[in-house]
Amino acid sequence: MDDQKEKRGGTPDPNAEPESAPEAGQKAESDDEQSLHDELEDLARVFQEELDRAKAQAEEDANRTDDAPGILIQSLDDLPEVQREADAEAEPKNDTEETLCECCGERPSGTQKDPDSPYCTVCDEGLRHYPFDFLNVLLALVLLVFVFYGGYQFADHTEVFVRAAQADSLAADNELYSALDAYTQAEEAMSSDRINGELVYKRAALTMYKLGYMSNVVELGDAVHSWELQLPHFRSMKTALDRAEQFLATGDAATEILSPYMSMSAQEIPYDDVLAQLEALKTADPEETTAAAEDTTNEAETTTEPADMDTYTPQYTGYNTAMVTFYQYYLALISDQPLETQIGFVEEMQSLEPEETWMYATLLGELYAKTGRDIEPICTKMLEVNAEDDTPALLRVIALRTAGDYDAAISQSEAQIEASNEYAAELYRQIGLCYLLQGDYETAYEKVNEGFQTTNPSIQLVNTLALCASAAGEEDAYAEAADLLTSSGYAVSEEVLEYRAGTRTIESIFTEGDLDVT
């Protein structure tokens, strides 16, 4: 159009020849009108051509859309050449980046399912099945094998765990004897499976400590490394070990003082002197005593074992005062001191070590029962510590017997024997004593003899049997009981001998002195 404009009008040609003025003026007017007319015609023709082309293009586009109605976005290849060229001229670079796959950068983005997807069909399919790295698969397999091995290990430890859990549950319910049995089973299982369960040993040691089995507590100290005992989770075991060793050392020191007087009669024992020696023990230094003892031992030994550096050496300062008091009570007992003196020592033990019921509770209960005091508080405390302790039941029977309520004592004893009380033999003895005090000597002898048959008899039971046999006129039985005592290195008790000599009655035996056959 511009070319035509230049040719047919517009700027005059500076190189054209000049004409005359009037002719030139008319001719110029005529040329201008013609030029304008031609230009308008050209414009009309150009517009018409453009309009026709646009209509044709619109029809063509409409036909294409009708042919493929499901395709919302055309691919680059489908675009008409003209349109592509026009678009390329307008925004050539940006358009290419938007439509290519973000993953491969080669194929056009969008899939049939998701046309807006930034990925091409191939990459989309690939990313939906994203490959596993070989190393990752290997690691995952290793971990899964580890899980299965863990399961195997768990199965291997199940028995130990079950026994330990049972023991812990019983200990939590204060059923200490059953707990101890379960701990023993757990220890056996650990030993057979070569498992070193240190926390099981710790809990077993604490249970044994509650029951007063101090030697066993010290033995369990070897199961744990000495440095571990300094750690917080073994602190309670360390305390138990230290105290157990202190009790044992005190016991050894006190026994050393008492041993010369054990076989003496009550009258021969220098009570005050021995009591003073024991009293001095309360402030003595155990290291000096131990060193002196070790010196004597070393003299006798020719070789010594090298010390195990990993074994814990319990630490304590001084002997245990309550334990020394226990031996003072024992001295009072063998010296036939009054019951009130004995009670004084046991009550002192209670005040010094109120938590150590294993040390004083049974003694205090028996002394209270004999002297007609209320035994229920001490029985309750014993059952709180160990619900399986049969001692309170026995103490109640003794209390009933000493109070003169023989029928109740007999019925309670029989009920306890029926319930498998561990002190069945002693309960039979108590029944026998009730019948003896009621004057039924034959039944008394039968009951005590029944107790004698049930278990390994105590010295007191054999002496009671001898007394009942004497009272019932069973001389053969008496001779048998006396033989048993003498063959075991014991003598028949003074009460029995005095009764047989006629210097003492049955009533006096159970109402004076120790209130029982010793």
Partner 1 sequence: MRIVYLIVKYLTLPGTFLQAFFEHLTCRVYEVLVEDGRYLRANEMCGHIQHELVRKRSTSFGICFFPFLFNLIAGLMLTAVGAVNVLYLGEFFTSGGSVHILNFLFLWVGISCLTNLFPQTEDALTFKELLYGKGKSNLFVKIIAAPVFAVLYVGSYLQKWGATLLTSAAFAYALPYILGTFLPQLYEAVQ
- Which spans of this chain sit near partner 1 (rule: CB under 8 A)? 119, 124, 127-133, 136, 139-140, 143-144, 146-147, 150-151, 153-154, 157-162, 164-166, 168-169, 190, 194-202, 225, 228
Taking the least distance from each CB to partner 1, the nearer of 65 and 192 is 192
DSSP structural state of residue 259: G
Least Å from the CB of residue 102 to partner 1: 9
Within a 10 A sphere around the Cβ of 403, how many other Cβ atoms?
Answer: 12
Distance CA 216, CA 518 (A): 30
Distance CA 254, CA 81 (A): 117
Least Å from the CB of residue 233 to partner 1: 8
Taking the least distance from each CB to partner 1, the nearer of 40 and 139 is 139
Taking the least distance from each CB to partner 1, the nearer of 223 and 385 is 223
Contact yes or no for 370/402 (Cβ under 8 A): yes
DSSP-assigned letters across all residues of 198-214? HHHHHHHHHHHHHHT-H
Query: What does each C-alpha distance from 261 to 273, 274, 472 come to in angstroms?
Result: 11, 9, 35
Distance CA 33, CA 202 (A): 124
Least Å from the CB of residue 131 to partner 1: 8
Taking the least distance from each CB to partner 1, the nearer of 93 and 128 is 128
Query: What does each C-alpha distance from 368 to 316, 344, 365, 486 come to in angstroms?
Result: 33, 11, 5, 32
Taking the least distance from each CB to partner 1, the nearer of 202 and 401 is 202
Least Å from the CB of residue 121 to partner 1: 12
Least Å from the CB of residue 116 to partner 1: 12
Least Å from the CB of residue 497 to partner 1: 55
User: Of 449, 455, 376, whose CA–CA distance to 422 is shortest?
Assistant: 455
Task: Point out which residues pair with 108 in neighbouring strands.
Answer: 100
Helix count (H) and strand count (E) of the chain?
A: 24, 0
Taking the least distance from each CB to partner 1, the nearer of 51 and 199 is 199
Taking the least distance from each CB to partner 1, the nearer of 224 and 433 is 224
Least Å from the CB of residue 477 to partner 1: 47
C-alpha dihedral, 15 to 17 to 18 to 24, nearest 10°: -110
Taking the least distance from each CB to partner 1, the nearer of 48 and 153 is 153
Least Å from the CB of residue 422 to partner 1: 25
Length of the chain: 518
- The number of angstroms, rounded, from the C-alpha of 176 to the middle of its chain's C-alpha atoms is 18
Taking the least distance from each CB to partner 1, the nearer of 7 and 194 is 194
Measured over the CA atoms of residue 222, residue 226, residue 231 and residue 237, the dihedral's sign is: positive
Contact yes or no for 381/365 (Cβ under 8 A): no
Distance CA 369, CA 382 (A): 15
Q: Which long-range contacts (CB under 8 A, 24 or more apart) does 236-243 make?
A: 236/202, 236/206, 237/202, 237/205, 237/206, 238/312, 240/205, 240/206, 240/209, 241/205, 241/217, 241/312, 241/314, 242/314, 242/315, 242/316, 243/209, 243/316, 243/320
Taking the least distance from each CB to partner 1, the nearer of 153 and 255 is 153
The residues, ordered by sequence, that sit 6+ positions from 263 with a Cβ below 8 Å of its Cβ are none
User: Of 342, 353, 341, 345, whose CA–CA distance to 325 is shortest?
Assistant: 345
Least Å from the CB of residue 161 to partner 1: 5
What's the first-to-final CA gap in the chain, in angstroms? 147
Distance CA 382, CA 426 (A): 19
Least Å from the CB of residue 419 to partner 1: 24
C-alpha dihedral, 116 to 120 to 123 to 125, nearest 10°: 70
Least Å from the CB of residue 153 to partner 1: 5
Taking the least distance from each CB to partner 1, the nearer of 47 and 146 is 146
Least Å from the CB of residue 199 to partner 1: 3
Taking the least distance from each CB to partner 1, the nearer of 225 and 373 is 225
Taking the least distance from each CB to partner 1, the nearer of 91 and 125 is 125
User: Of 429, 349, 422, whose CA–CA distance to 397 is shortest?
Assistant: 429
Least Å from the CB of residue 192 to partner 1: 11
